[in-house]
Amino acid sequence: MDLFGISFLGLNVVPIILVIAGLVALRMFFNLNTLAWMAAWWVGLYLMLSNGITVPLPGSIVGMFMGIITLALLVYLTTSGEDLEATKDFMVKFFTDSRYSPALLAFLVLLPSLVAYNVYTGMTQQPQAPVFGRTIHPPPPTDITFKGKKIDLVNDDNPYRILKETDPDAFAAHVANGRKVYYQNCVNCHGDDMGGNGMFAHAFDPIPASFKDPTTIAMLQESYLFWRIAKGAPGLPDESTPWSSAMPAWEKFLSEEDIWDVIIFLYEYTGYEPRAKEELH
Ligand code: HEC
């Protein structure tokens, strides 16, 4: 069992008991002078703040509290003239008495080293990617407006796909137009083999989708692709925008027919079938 995980009223019980027990033991078994006693309190309170609270406190808050605690301990020290004198005496001795030379030396080396270490760790921290994920395939809206015309993403299908069965020549003309649209507009990002490795691809995060990857167009409906191509990154809902996608909104540049044609070309080229429309029960 994780003893350090036991919590009560938002406090981690075990670290707090350990600190209190440590302070009691110091009081009972060691005859500490006031300065050492205050140092023990300082360390104890630091350990309590950084380990004793169930929801971890941010470092800046701990730092703020430690500043207040330092001031409070100094005020405490100055309340008794005797303690203050004893502390002053001790400090003078610490810096001048040769008995304390090794301790003084250690202090003089340690303090700047600690500061240097702190600065070093602060400066060498690697940037962290944001922890929130990006939804690659968010649910599409039920319909969109394309150049003033409503397109029903649930029920509408690619109007030219049927030609594959009924009129192969006409279908071939749509594939050819789709090819033209692709190599004029999409190739620089999505790549000349649709692998998502066009010459601009490395500049983007997220990288352009690879249509050869079975987790893209192979599992999407054609109306979904229509939405993504027409509305691009600006049309994505919030859960897909932690990093900005570079996918342009093609409704400004392509006709409705061009978009259905390029979709046909994506499937013909990769050999994937579009995902069938969901049956409504
Ligand atoms: C400036 C680069 C760029 C160009 C040009 C571009 N795309 Fe994209 N495209 C992206 C990026 C980046 C993504 C991945 C991020 C996203 O889903 O928005 C993407 C995603 C897509 C998706 C979604 C795939 C999926 O799995 O959800 C489709 C479909 C798509 N692009 C089609 C096209 C078509 C068709 C063209 C040409 C008319 C085109 N793209 C041109 C950058 C581009």
What is d(CA 82, CA 77) in angstroms, rounded to the nearest whole number?
A: 9
Q: C-alpha distances in angstroms, 176 versus 159, 173, 252, 255, 266? A: 16, 5, 21, 15, 11
Please write down the long-range contacts of 26-35, taking CB distance under 8 Å and 24 or more positions apart.
Answer: 33/86, 33/87, 33/90, 34/77, 34/83, 34/86, 34/87, 35/77, 35/87, 35/90, 35/91
Q: Ligand 1 test: best mutation among 223, 247, 251, 262, most atoms within 8 Å of CB?
A: 247
Per-10-residue mean pLDDT, the chain, length 281: 70 87 90 84 90 81 92 87 83 88 91 92 77 81 93 92 96 97 97 94 91 94 96 89 86 96 97 80 50
Question: pTM above 0.75?
Answer: no
Q: 202-214, pLDDT tens digit by residue?
A: 888 889 999 999 9
CATH class of segment(s) 143-270: mainly alpha
Q: Which of 183, 189, 222 most suits a substitution to test ligand 1, by most atoms within 8 Å of the C-beta?
A: 189
Q: Which of 190, 221, 241, 263, when mutated, tests ligand 1's pocket best, judged by the most ligand atoms within 8 Å of its CB?
A: 190
* Radius of gyration of the chain, Cα coordinates, nearest whole angstrom: 34
If you search the block for the tokens 């240097």, which residue do you land on? 116
Contact, 184 vs 177, CB < 8 A?
Answer: no
Ligand 1, residues at Cβ distance < 6 Å: 137, 181, 185-186, 188-190, 200, 204, 206, 208-209, 216, 225, 228-229, 233, 245-248, 250, 262
Q: Which residue's alpha carbon is at the smallest distance from atom 16 of ligand 1?
A: 245
149's CB contacts (< 8 A; 6+ apart) are 256
Distance (angstroms) between ligand 1 centre and the Cα of 164 equals 25
Domains in the chain: boundaries: 3-123, 143-270
